[in-house]
Amino acid sequence: MTTVRFGTDGIRGIAGETLTVELAAALGVALMQQHPAGLVLIGRDTRPSGPALASALAGAIEAHGGTVIDVGIIPTPGLASLVAGEPRAACGVVVTASHNPVEYNGLKVLARDGRKIPDAQERALEAAMEGALAVGVQVVAPSASHAAEAEEYRGRYARALAALAQTVSAAGLRVVVDAAHGAASPFAVAALAATGATVLPFAMGDGVINDGVGATDPAALGEQVRAHGADLGIALDGDADRCVVVDAGGRTIDGDVLIALIALDRKGRGVAGSDRAVATVLTNSGVERHLAAHGITLERTPVGDRHIAERLAAGQGGFGGEKSGHLLFTELSPTGDGLLSAITVLGLVARAGIPVGEMADAVPLDPQLQRTVPVPPGEGERLLAEPELQTAIREAEAALAQTGGRVLVRLSGTEPLLRVMGEGPDHAAVSTAVGRLLEVAASLVRGR
């Protein structure tokens, strides 16, 4: 029987291999078991595999009594806001692998409120999908096109972006925006230009999604910023839920620094809930100390923006973010939105009146290393449980604790990788500890 697994951000795999049209159809069957006769909004990024997966998903939903509106290419947070704002919608699905390379794709399920579904619902969907695959699912095309409705829905999202942008006065700023050839390509320039900034487009859909561009590879954006003499650059990822910033010199600003700058700006403006911010266990300890010195408590969650959203909701709102560039503003959107984040950053820089690089330099960070080890698919849990690796982890923890440092070893929720993070005031000690963990993990992988 096929084993279906939701990771930290939906189901992901290599399109046509571990993520098939049959799997997409099985999700459609499972969703109709949870939401009989429900309306499902579907969106996707720009991957070539997206249309076939979206069609299989939509066809299965219709075949089992549901209704579908395929919105087409739209950022994940755009579809999330549409689901939350559409009273008829039961849920939404985005066909995307976010920041992953083009050969990957994914199925990201959004709840009625636009947020990612909870673990219990994921487990129920997994079981229902496995049941459907065991008896066989038929892949059929949806019955009709909804082109006019899709255009109207995309227009709703574009108007919401413009409405926020018009509350920001960023005239005089020059910004390069990198859409990663992804889902933000139809929306990014107009959204940021509505702030009054001069917007220079880059990677706007005429190339391969996430290939040498975007939030996970901002070096090319840095070159564009320098070449155009821009004040800053904004990099989005493939489904536009991340926002990464580069300064006028092309230097990437650490995502943790961005969290600190936004939290301090909100505190200075007296935004409700600005005495707290939420981040994950990966966020640099220097940020936590810096915010505490300004009267802001940093609360930590497990890795994944879903956990941040849950903590924010439990605490009656506020701001939170991940080092990777996921930023969440509960008063603006049910999920992290790279374009809303970019608009917020432009407002912050315009209000400060000083270069964003200079602002970033004022935030102290502890030396931190993050490295990965490729793991054979399906072997991650066993590798992490290996006694030799567990012993090495304990030794690294003890060594770094002597200087106030820490180590974190975990499996990626989106790729077959073991992730190792070390942090502390002594860079040499951090490097040694991380190097040893990588050596042990790689040796165990080779020995399998």
Residue 347 has pLDDT above 70, yes or no: yes
Residue with token string 């065991």: 134
- Tens digits of residue pLDDT in 158-183: 999 999 999 999 999 999 999 999 99
Residue 448 has pLDDT above 70, yes or no: no
- Tens digits of residue pLDDT in 215-260: 999 999 999 999 999 999 999 999 999 999 999 999 999 999 999 9
- Tens digits of residue pLDDT in 394-408: 999 999 999 899 999
SS3 179: coil
Least confident stretch, 34-48, 173-187, 190-204, 371-385: 371-385
Domain boundary pick from 330, 361, 392: 361
Distance CA 55, CA 37 (A): 18
Please tell me the predicted confidence (pLDDT) of residue 354: 96
CATH number for the domain spanning 332: value is 3.40.120.10
Distance CA 232, CA 245 (A): 7
Residue 55 falls in the annotated catalytic set = no
Same domain, 335 and 405: no
Out of 55, 81, 98, 285, pick the active-site residue.
Answer: 98
Q: Assess if residue 324 is contained within a domain.
A: yes
Same domain, 95 and 187: no
Q: Whole-number mean pLDDT of the chain?
A: 94
Domain boundary pick from 361, 391, 426: 361
Q: Assess if residue 1 is contained within a domain.
A: no
Total domain count for the chain?
3
Length of the chain: 448
Which segments of 45-167 does DSSP mark as H helices, in order?
50-63, 76-85, 119-135, 147-165
Same domain, 316 and 399: no
Same domain, 191 and 114: no
- Tens digits of residue pLDDT in 80-132: 999 999 999 999 999 999 999 999 999 999 999 999 998 899 999 999 999 99
Closest listed residue to residue 244, CA positions, set 234, 229, 257: 234
Domain boundary pick from 322, 337, 361: 361
Range(s) of the domain holding residue 425: 368-446
Residue with token string 């702030």: 195
The CA angle 13-14-15, to the nearest 5 degrees, is 110
| pLDDT band at residue 145 under the 50/70/90 scheme | confident
Residue 1 has pLDDT above 60, yes or no: no
Same domain, 338 and 440: no
Give mean pLDDT, residues 173-202.
98
Same domain, 127 and 275: no
Residue 241: what are its φ and ψ, rounded to 5°?
-100, -5
Same domain, 27 and 120: yes
Q: Assess if residue 287 is contained within a domain.
A: yes
